[in-house]
Structure 1
Amino acid sequence: MRRRLGFITVGSIVLAALTVAQAPAQAGATAAAGSATVVEARATIHGRPSTDADTAARLSTAYWTPERMRAARPAPMPDGVDAPDGEAADRPGRIGAPRDVAAPAAPRTSTTTLSAAGSGQGTQAVNASPGVGRVFFTHDGEDFFCSGGTINNPQANLVSTAGHCVHPGDGGSVWFDNWVYAPEFTEGEPLHGLWSAKEFTSVEGWVDWGYVWWDFAFVTMHPLDGDRLVHVTGGQGLSVNKSKSFSAMLLGYPGEPPFDGQSQYYSSGTTKVAGAQRVKLKNCPLNKGASGGPFLRAWDNDLRFGYVNSVMSYKFSGNMYGPYFDDDVLDIYTVAKNKQ
């Protein structure tokens, strides 16, 4: 049996005020020449490098108790505006041929009964995706959560998310600690287990400068009980260089009222061009906690997968923004996709 994501009208939602995750680089500031440079880091658990899958699973499960997961706060979103000065100079874009660089994949075997509750726009019934999950991490001694999407990469072990869900974007070397992914987290339960991060792959434009047009990352996950993530949950496809105006399904775990982050929610509509290298979905009700959840194109409601074409970054004037996926993003994916 499948329970479907519900919906509510946009007009019934009061959006919470934006908060700033960190002080982003000032609009118009001169960008570093290496903004597109790949930045990589080993994930940590309790501040120590996470190198062994079994140890990572044991420590992560011990730390992320049901009580701790319930108490985690939605991660603050970065501040943003519609067209900051300097964006076009820092990220003019490398838009090549439109490509689907990864195709959606269903799980290798049947999963447990799927369930989720949610919200969105319109009247369609939307199935929850096992390829979208809730992310948990620790920063400065506090526990937070974001969202992410499983990517069908060659090693079957990759999650896409926002840059601000792995690093504060302040130029420092401290990446977020105790990072785990709970695919299809539903009613407070990790239906498919807690998967521990092994390595982060992002970009200097986010990690060193905090520019929202670079606010994306990929996370390599450890196996769990000998299984690889995509084999258990299936995975989303990945698209680059597609039109900036497309029919999008946004999935994630918003955590501010009227949401509580305990189940998967959706919002849908047609994206618009934003700035030089960003897209936006107007009048989106999702809020903090949904950060890192995918903008999905070519959503298949029966398969419950689509193609990740951006990730949720921040809210501005009621609209949800995300970085445009072009060849800059493809370069980062190419580095991350074959990591064991």
Structure 2
Amino acid sequence: MRRRLGFITVGSMLLAVLTVAQPAAQAGATAAAGSATVAEGRATIHGQPSTDADTAARLSTAYWTPERMRAARPAPMSKGVDEPDGEAADRPGRIGAPRDVAAPAAPLSSAATHGAAPAGSGQGTQAVNASPGVGRVFFTHNNEDFFCSGGTINNPQANMVSTAGHCVHPGDGGSVWFDNWVYAPEFTEGEPLHGLWSAKEFTSVEGWVDWGYLWWDFAFVTMHPLHGDRLVHVTGGQGLSVNKSKSFSAMLLGYPGEPPFDGQSQYYSSGTTKAAGVQRVKLKDCPLNRGASGGPFLRAWDNDLRFGYVNSVMSYKYSGNMYGPYFDDDVLDIYTVAKNKQ
């Protein structure tokens, strides 16, 4: 579909995103008409539309056994377009007033407080509490099981996850979105502490889905209730910011899956972001790798509350730097389409 628009020590600066070579620049890439258009897809389980919450929970739990989750591989990144002239023409920037369009919310229950993530090495030595509003994403593509990362967003329906576009769709112009998509918030030591939540609908942008442009590599996923509960009510949710400075103090959270990591617990990376390209940001010198892609760049991180404001998502890594799309009014348009979906 298309239309307009308990404390957890996470480790020292380690959260991982895709360790990938710089995507090859496609010479002469030009702006594609309508690439800011919303792209939407209904989630599927075993290739069939996921329409009923109880059935989705039953089928997802049956499919994603502990053995299958352990065997899932960190998702590779689809070959994306990284061409500065094309980016400037395609996404020149709709930067309005800086806004916090959603505020962080704690869970309604105090149950979302558990798990001890292993400490890592990297920049900084501070203890960082793992967030129940960040989790590991699982999905199937071409009969193979993969994982990414994502963050819960405090939206009006209390049911939203932010992630990378390449964690929901290969960005190849096809109509097939990833299958068997579930979210395991605060996945710790290989355990889904707060259950497996089944995707209901994907909302991304045509610039990623049809063209694979890295500057559009983000998505929002609305989730089915689980046992009658809504996701944000159980885990709490991150806030969402747009049009903020491209240079900000960032906390990145996710699930790295390549050595020295195994994707079984949450890690972090922190530092000050810088502008990259026309509409992207980067965090320099991040020891991150595949599996954390889709995890949030968080500004105004509160280590006691364990939430902040999503201001980008991890997209790809090049030359030691982590990159993500800049969140401006273009992203706000996509969020506005997705935020009230049941």
Question: How far does the alpha carbon of each residue in 1:114-136 deviate from its partner, in whole angstroms, 9 at most, with x for none?
Answer: 11315552021100000000000
Identity of aligned residues (%): 92
TM-score in terms of structure 1 length: 0.92
**Comparing 114-123 with 260-269, which one deviates more in the overlay?**
114-123
Give secondary structure in 1 for the equivalent of 2:85.
coil
Going from structure 1 to structure 2, the CA distance change for 1:2 and 1:323 (only over 3 Å counts) comes to: closer
In structure 2, stretches of 5+ residues that fail to align are none
1:107 and 1:302 map into 2 onto residues whose CA distance is 13
Does the 8 Å contact 1:163/1:215 carry over to 2? yes
Give secondary structure in 2 for the equivalent of 1:55.
helix
Question: How far does the alpha carbon of each residue in 1:3-40 deviate from its partner, in whole angstroms, 9 at most, with x for none?
Answer: 99999999999999977699878243122110100011
Does the 8 Å contact 1:4/1:127 carry over to 2? no
Q: Shift of residue 85 of structure 1?
A: 3.1
Going from structure 1 to structure 2, the CA distance change for 1:44 and 1:189 (only over 3 Å counts) comes to: same
Does the 8 Å contact 1:60/1:180 carry over to 2? yes
**Comparing 131-140 with 22-31, which one deviates more in the overlay?**
22-31
Q: Shift of residue 77 of structure 1?
A: 2.5
Going from structure 1 to structure 2, the CA distance change for 1:280 and 1:21 (only over 3 Å counts) comes to: closer
Does the 8 Å contact 2:15/2:255 carry over to 1? no
Does the 8 Å contact 1:2/1:115 carry over to 2? no
**Comparing 283-292 with 176-185, which one deviates more in the overlay?**
283-292
Going from structure 1 to structure 2, the CA distance change for 1:49 and 1:260 (only over 3 Å counts) comes to: same
Tell me the residue number matched to 1:87: 87
2:216 and 2:82 map into 1 onto residues whose CA distance is 15
Does the 8 Å contact 1:20/1:79 carry over to 2? no
May I ask how many residue pairs the two structures share in their alignment?
340
Does the 8 Å contact 2:271/2:283 carry over to 1? yes
Q: Shift of residue 99 of structure 1?
A: 0.0
1:23 and 1:237 map into 2 onto residues whose CA distance is 30
Does the 8 Å contact 1:104/1:235 carry over to 2? yes
Give secondary structure in 2 for the equivalent of 1:338.
coil
- CA-based RMSD of the aligned residues comes to 6.0
Going from structure 1 to structure 2, the CA distance change for 1:72 and 1:245 (only over 3 Å counts) comes to: same
2:14 and 2:236 map into 1 onto residues whose CA distance is 34
**Comparing 75-84 with 29-38, which one deviates more in the overlay?**
75-84
Does the 8 Å contact 1:6/1:120 carry over to 2? no
2:4 and 2:260 map into 1 onto residues whose CA distance is 18
Q: Shift of residue 84 of structure 1?
A: 3.1
Going from structure 1 to structure 2, the CA distance change for 1:3 and 1:271 (only over 3 Å counts) comes to: farther
2:299 and 2:307 map into 1 onto residues whose CA distance is 9
1:7 and 1:156 map into 2 onto residues whose CA distance is 23
2:258 and 2:126 map into 1 onto residues whose CA distance is 23
Does the 8 Å contact 2:17/2:292 carry over to 1? no
TM-score in terms of structure 2 length: 0.92
Does the 8 Å contact 2:21/2:318 carry over to 1? no
Going from structure 1 to structure 2, the CA distance change for 1:239 and 1:18 (only over 3 Å counts) comes to: closer
